[in-house]
Amino acid sequence: MVDGGIEAMAFHELSLAAWGGLAAEARSLMTLLADCEPRVYSRYGHWWAKLSGAQVRILPG
């Protein structure tokens, strides 16, 4: 969870329809996580920098 959305990573190419489905799930997830502190999840951020070839997007909440 980041400001304004959910950070999602795909380890292979995804279609626009797949990203659209993930965006819908992100909106639902934001409702569930609304009262959570996002900094708790930042401890995993170092993994994203170590992965190459992945697509990262911020899906709005």
Question: How far apart are alpha carbons 26 and 35 in whole angstroms?
Answer: 15
**pLDDT for position 36:** 76
Domain interval for residue 29: 5-60
Give the percent of the chain with pLDDT over 70: 82
* Domain count along the chain: 1
Q: Angle 22-25-28 (CA atoms, 0-180°, nearest 5)?
A: 155
pTM greater than 0.75 = no
Question: How far apart are alpha carbons 19 and 25 in whole angstroms?
Answer: 10
**pLDDT for position 61:** 72
8's CB contacts (< 8 A; 6+ apart) are 22, 26, 56, 57, 58, 59
Q: pLDDT digits over 4-19, tens only?
A: 788 888 888 899 999 9
